[in-house]
Structures are given as C-alpha cells and as structure tokens.
Structure 1
Amino acid sequence: MTQANPIFHFSAAALAMVFLLLLPASIPHPALAWQQALQPRTLTFPRDHGQHGAFQTEWWYLTGNLTAKNGRRFGFQFTLFRRGVRKQAATDNLWAVRDLYLLHSSLSDFSRKHFYTYEDASRTGPGLAGASRDTLKTWFKGNLLQWDGNKTISLHCQTDNYALDFTFSPDYPRPILHGDRGLSRKGPGQGQASYYYSLPRLLTSGTITLDGKPYRVSGLSWYDHEFATSQLGKDQQGWDWISLHLDDGSSLMIYQLRRKDGTVSPFSSGTFIFPDGRYEHLHRADFSLTAAKRRWQSPDTGISWPLWWQLTLKKPRVLELSLRPKMVNQEMKTMKTTRTIYWEGSITAAENRNGEKTVKGEGYLELTGYGQNLPLSGSAGR
C-alpha cells in the first residue's frame, strides 16, 4: 500500500517488527530455544551480511539523501525485517514456516513536500521472501537487496508509486562494529543486547522512478544490519536514533533509549567514525541529545513529535549540532504490519559556532514510543 502523507517504520527502523501480533493461532510455540546476544562474537564478512536464523529478530536497513541531476532532492528508506516464528531443526521442506518477513519503504520528495510509504508482509517460501545464510542477499516479492561481489551492493525496490534502483559503494574500508566488537547492550539483563554493525557511508548512484518518470540520482546512504532475541526491557518506552553524514567525511550514530519514568537509559550509546574509517564507541556520558520545545503535531494521528534537537558531543571531538527535519511529515503508520506509529525521516545538521568554519551534514532520525507504547517491547529494538 502506498499513499502520500501517512504510514509506517520501527526500524528503522529502524522498532521493529512486532510480527507476533500477526501470527495465526495455529502456529505452534518454538520447539527449540532462540539464541541470545550474550557476549562479543567474531563477525566474518560476507557471511555475517546474511541471515542469522538462530536469533528471533533481524533486519537489514538502508536510508539515504539523494539529489537528481535537475536538482530535485529525495530521501529514502528501505528495511526488510525477519521475525522467527519458531526455532526448529533444519528441513528440506521449502514451505516450512520458520520466519515471517516485513518490508517497509518510504520516499521523501522534498521539492514537492510529498511523502510516500509502502509496507507488506510475507511468509518464507519460493518466490516470496527470504535471505541467504552465506552473504547479503535478501528478497521479498521481486524486491532485491544483495552484495554484488565486486564490493558494491545493489537494491531494487518496486512499489505502486515509485521504484528504487541503486548501487552502493562503501566509502570506509570495513564494517563499523557498534558497542563492544558488535555487541550493542540495551539493558542490564541477560540477553538485553543485539549484534549490530553498519556500513555508514555508502556512495550511492542510481535511479528513482516516480509516477513513471525516471530521475538519475546520487548521494550518500547508511546501511544497518542487526540481529537479536528479546533485547529490550519492560521499562522501555521508546528510542531516538540518529545517523549523520558530516561534510568533513566523518559519520555519527546516536541511540538514546527512553524509559517509562521519563529518564534516559544509561545504556544509550553511539559511535563516531573518522574520515579514514577508524571509529570510537560512545557511552551515555559522552553525548547529550535534547529535544527543543518546538514540536510538530501530526494531523493524522495527533502525536506530537520532537523533530528539532540539540546534539552535544564531548568526545572524541567536541561538537554542538542543531538538528532539524527537511520535511515534517515523515510519519510512519504501519497498521498492516507492525501496527506501530513512528517517525522516520531525513534531517539536516549544522554546528553551533560563531565566526568560524562550521561542520554541516545530513542524515536520518528515527523516533519511537511517542503517543504509543511499544507493543511486545521485549521483542523489538534497535
């Protein structure tokens, strides 16, 4: 389903996939226990670009800011979620229901202030949806995201109103492992963590086809891959997630976890990536992310969204950035799939410093848990 100014993501989404809400009662309970993210693991590529079926929840996520040759500006998001229905021994039955897949996509047309969204769900099966175990290759009803073998990634996404056909080339020499060697902790309890890495700076080129007209575009994109089982605690209200490409070649990810009592979780974290690909993990004390008083109230849901932020970074370099949306209505209402409402959209960043050359950038902001509790929060997360 596509429509302007309405629905959709977790992620993110990311949020993520509350597939359990969609499961038929006839599907049995897991026969085997799901693995949890308990300690750092050695991530090997391209193998770990593929699916991790021993974990219940997984997603592949792409966002980007692109410009057409005629100057028209776009933002996009493509996320494929996998939710394990049951853990069972290997079988040759191609129709065995082991996983469900969700596809979320959006296109922001900033020149026309138009927002398109798409969502769909599918079981696994020949010609339906799935992901390779050996490399990055995911498919969903004709949509395809895959590693091409020559250090590039390709994406084909087809919706009712638009199509995305992109090639991505990593600008950094290797994947960025968040947290402790890829183990991203979300809380103090056992298993309250995920395995999380990114290709944060992807040189992007390709075509956006909108209303039947092709636009050649180029720009920068961000790729996330995350997998876990029951990573969030019961006190989780939502999160504020930010990815930024700065114009000096560096990149930044911030993940702020909000608790139901209004406080920020000490397990909030981030990663700063230098222009040469070196990176440093950020703890809660290394940054502050504060919403401005100004908000945008959605005319569709009535939710008041904090879309203007101040981000202060204390290390590895001192930065004070003002963040603002490129377009306010980038609200996702995923009533057909995850049944969550979140905001996932393109933002700009500008350094707050007078009389000196300042850093600028752009990226994506993901907001969850505003005006709506996260359903089955123990199963979702970034």
Structure 2
Amino acid sequence: MSVRSIAIAFAATTMASISGRQAVSEGFGGLGSAAEGFSVPQPGQLLRFSADHGPHPDFRIEWWYLTANLEAPDGTQYGAQWTLFRSALAPGEAGEWSSPQIWMGHAAVTTSEDHFVAERISRGGVGQAGVVAEPFAAWIDDWQMTGHAAPGSDQLADLNVTAAAKDFGYELRLSATGPLVPHGDNGYSVKSAKGQASYYYSQPFYAVTGSLSLPTGSVEVAGKAWLDREWSSQPLAEDQTGWDWFSLHLDTGEKLMGFRLRDEGEGYTSATWITADGRPDPLPAGALQIAPVRTAKVAGRQIPVAWNIRIPSRGFDVTTRPLNDQAWMSTSTPYWEGPISFGGNVGGRGYVEMTGY
C-alpha cells in the first residue's frame, strides 16, 4: 500500500536493535514518530522516472512491493510475494559499513493448504542489498528483481523476479501491459486527517509467467501482478494502530487500490479507481467503505479474513474470500498478507495486507 508493511519492522524492531536505542512507540510500529532530520513528502512534487524507481536515502522508509495472483494449467490458485524494504537510521548514504541504510526482504508463496515465508536482513553500503534505478535492479542476497527494459523506456516494464528458501522458491517474468499509476494527488498520498503522507505509485498491469518450486514439485503458473512503490518519513499519525490494504484486479480490466488506516475512531480511508487503460481516479477520503464479514483464528489471534468492500458513488459492492485463512507472515514484525478472490457486482482476484492485529 501504500503505507506498506515493514517499514514497520525497521522503524520499530530492526532500527532499535541495530542502533542500540529504544524505538519510539508512536503510531503503528513507530511510523508515527517524528521525522526530524529526514525529508518529508510535499504536495506538488512531480514523480520522476526512471529516477524514482531507485532509492531515496533522505527519506526514512521505502519499499518495492510485489504481489502476484497465479494459476496453474489445472486451475489451481497460488499467490506470491516479493518485497524489499529500506529503512534509514539517519538521512543520506555513506560507503560500506558506515551506511545508515538497512534493508529487509520478504518472500512468500501461498497455496490453499500452506503459506511459505522467508525473510532476509542486510546492512546497506556493502553490496549485499540495494536498488539501482537504471538499468533497474533490486536485490538482497540472491533474491533478485531485475529489469530488461530498453534504455530510455520504463525500467519497470519488463522484470525477472526470483527468490528461494528452504521450502519454496519461484522464478517469474513480468511484462507490463499498462502504464504506471500515481495515487493521491499525482503521487502525493495522504494517510491521515492530520496530513501525514507518502509518495506512492504502482504498476498494477503486469502479466506474469513462470514457475513455483514447492515441496510437492515444480508448478508452471501464469497470472497478474501488482508492484507498489512508496517512500516517506512519517506516514502515520501517532494514534493510527495499523492498516487494511487491498489491491483488486477486476474482471472488467479495471483496478482498485484502497486502504483503511485504523485509529480509535472510524479510521482514515483512501482509494484509487484505475480504468482499464490505466487512468487513475483518486477517490476522496471516506468514499471507500470496508467492513469485515468473517474472522479466523490465525497465530493465536482473531483476524478478519473476509471483507465487504463498497464504493457507493460507483455502485461497487464486493465480498472477498481468502485463498488461505492462515496467510500469516511470521517475520520480524508479523502481519497477514495473502491472495483473495472476490464476487458481487463484479468478480476478480487480488491481495490483502493487514497489520496491527
């Protein structure tokens, strides 16, 4: 999302342990803490490509976040996630072990029966992890997201994505069939009534082919993927306790990104309706209405795993179904992330992320 996941672990767990200081507990995972010394998003700044595909070390947190809805030839459904997070102990970059940048990678594969998860953590400056804008490359250890686009073209248009862990792995090829999509006000995405914000854009139009490696063997898959790019320094208000984020591929070819940031009241919602040809329609705060319709016991807690999502102004009304209730990311800071299908006045597939439960 968006305000997406694991800056969390950086802002709270990872940054505190590496710096030897107690993390400030303001907002979920410390993401509402003060951004003193760091750059903060400003309205009216235009996104720059391909430069913005690369890192922004003067901002505190950032991610390259891929989710894929996949299907085998026999119709079996799968989900895959590849995410690289950057978090800064201080603004700016420096060489080798003096770098203040910390990197973390998450990879996952979801089936109807299992949810496989792996995590990597690295210090910046020594080549173990990083991102280059052009020619595009993102990596942590041997987990790779590598671009093959021609010079001068969109560097995210053609990607190879690989990850391997003890029980699973994947090799995926992504080809964009539509444009990059900014969220909010031309990429300036507001996250609270108090004005916290991030820079946020997506590539929601990937066609995917490739293979999964599972304990039962290799599986050829194809499907759709969604890549989120987001960076900020203080994306949450101090009273926001987590979020529910949705990316939906509608059968009509349209897309929807929406999230709710939870607080002690009704929360703060935002959404972008994306036409089939890639034109964004940012919806006003409150236009998106979401409500849980079923919970399940996951990792010892009750998690809402099915949702009703409504946009009354568009007559949009769907209910989601998870591929696997137990899509729990048992990482440094745990969260729920998994593939869904949905039905109602339109069908489709997508992904849900939930933090703070």
Give the alignment's TM-score, normalised by structure 2. 0.87
Taking a change above 3 Å as real, the CA distance of residues 17 and 270 of structure 1, as seen in their structure-2 partners, is farther
Gaps of 5+ in 1: 1-9, 27-31, 352-357, 371-382
Q: How do residues 1-382 of structure 1 correspond to structure 2 at under 5 angstroms?
A: 11-12=4-5, 15=8, 17-18=10-11, 19-25=14-20, 33-88=37-92, 91=94, 93-110=95-112, 113-134=113-134, 136-150=136-150, 151-172=157-178, 174-189=179-194, 192-211=196-215, 213-259=217-263, 261-265=264-268, 268-292=269-293, 294-298=294-298, 300=299, 302-315=300-313, 317-334=314-331, 337=332, 340-351=333-344, 358-370=345-357
State how far apart, in whole Å, the 2-side matches of 1:332 and 1:254 are. Answer: 21
What one-letter code is carried by the residue in structure 2 that aligns with 1:142? Answer: D
Q: Is the 8 A contact 1:46 1:135 kept in 2?
A: no
1:17-50 superposed Cα distances (whole Å, 9 cap, x missing partner):
3332332329xxxxx9210012232112222111
Gaps of 5+ in 2: 22-35, 151-156
Q: Is the 8 A contact 1:47 1:135 kept in 2?
A: no
User: Shift of residue 255 of structure 1?
Assistant: 0.8
Q: Is the 8 A contact 2:7 2:62 kept in 1?
A: no
Q: Is the 8 A contact 2:323 2:340 kept in 1?
A: yes
Q: Is the 8 A contact 2:6 2:85 kept in 1?
A: no
What one-letter code is carried by the residue in structure 2 that aligns with 1:165? Answer: E
State how far apart, in whole Å, the 1-side matches of 2:17 and 2:216 are. Answer: 33
What one-letter code is carried by the residue in structure 1 that aligns with 2:326? Answer: N
Taking a change above 3 Å as real, the CA distance of residues 125 and 118 of structure 1, as seen in their structure-2 partners, is same
Q: How many residues align?
A: 334
User: Shift of residue 369 of structure 1?
Assistant: 1.4
State how far apart, in whole Å, the 2-side matches of 1:213 and 1:127 are. Answer: 32
- Greater Cα offset, 208-217 or 342-351: 208-217
State how far apart, in whole Å, the 2-side matches of 1:14 and 1:284 are. Answer: 23
Could you tell me the percent identity over the aligned residues? Answer: 32
Name the structure, 1 or 2, with higher relative contact order (CA <8 Å, separation 6+).
1
State how far apart, in whole Å, the 1-side matches of 2:185 and 2:9 are. Answer: 22
Does the residue aligned with 2:305 lie in a helix, a strand or coil?
coil
1:251-300 superposed Cα distances (whole Å, 9 cap, x missing partner):
101111110x24222xx2010111111120012332211112x31012x3
User: Shift of residue 97 of structure 1?
Assistant: 2.1
Does the residue aligned with 2:341 lie in a helix, a strand or coil?
strand
What one-letter code is carried by the residue in structure 2 that aligns with 1:323? Answer: T
Does the residue aligned with 2:97 lie in a helix, a strand or coil?
coil
Q: Is the 8 A contact 1:165 1:207 kept in 2?
A: yes
Does the residue aligned with 1:139 lie in a helix, a strand or coil?
strand
User: Shift of residue 360 of structure 1?
Assistant: 0.6
State how far apart, in whole Å, the 2-side matches of 1:140 and 1:264 are. Answer: 35
State how far apart, in whole Å, the 2-side matches of 1:131 and 1:149 are. Answer: 16
Taking a change above 3 Å as real, the CA distance of residues 14 and 95 of structure 1, as seen in their structure-2 partners, is closer
What one-letter code is carried by the residue in structure 1 that aligns with 2:141? Answer: K
Give the alignment's TM-score, normalised by structure 1. 0.82
1:174-218 superposed Cα distances (whole Å, 9 cap, x missing partner):
21100011001112446x110000001210011112238322210
Does the residue aligned with 1:23 lie in a helix, a strand or coil?
helix
What one-letter code is carried by the residue in structure 2 that aligns with 1:118? Answer: A
State how far apart, in whole Å, the 2-side matches of 1:157 and 1:331 are. Answer: 18
Does the residue aligned with 2:286 lie in a helix, a strand or coil?
helix
What one-letter code is carried by the residue in structure 1 that aligns with 2:101? Answer: D
State how far apart, in whole Å, the 2-side matches of 1:153 and 1:169 are. Answer: 7
Q: CA RMSD in A?
A: 2.2
Does the residue aligned with 1:220 lie in a helix, a strand or coil?
strand
Q: Is the 8 A contact 1:40 1:182 kept in 2?
A: no
State how far apart, in whole Å, the 1-side matches of 2:209 and 2:133 are. Answer: 27
State how far apart, in whole Å, the 2-side matches of 1:220 and 1:157 are. Answer: 18
Q: Is the 8 A contact 1:62 1:79 kept in 2?
A: yes
State how far apart, in whole Å, the 2-side matches of 1:224 and 1:325 are. Answer: 21
Taking a change above 3 Å as real, the CA distance of residues 329 and 14 of structure 1, as seen in their structure-2 partners, is farther
State how far apart, in whole Å, the 1-side matches of 2:161 and 2:38 are. Answer: 30
State how far apart, in whole Å, the 1-side matches of 2:219 and 2:289 are. Answer: 38
State how far apart, in whole Å, the 2-side matches of 1:212 and 1:308 are. Answer: 28
What one-letter code is carried by the residue in structure 2 that aligns with 1:310? Answer: N
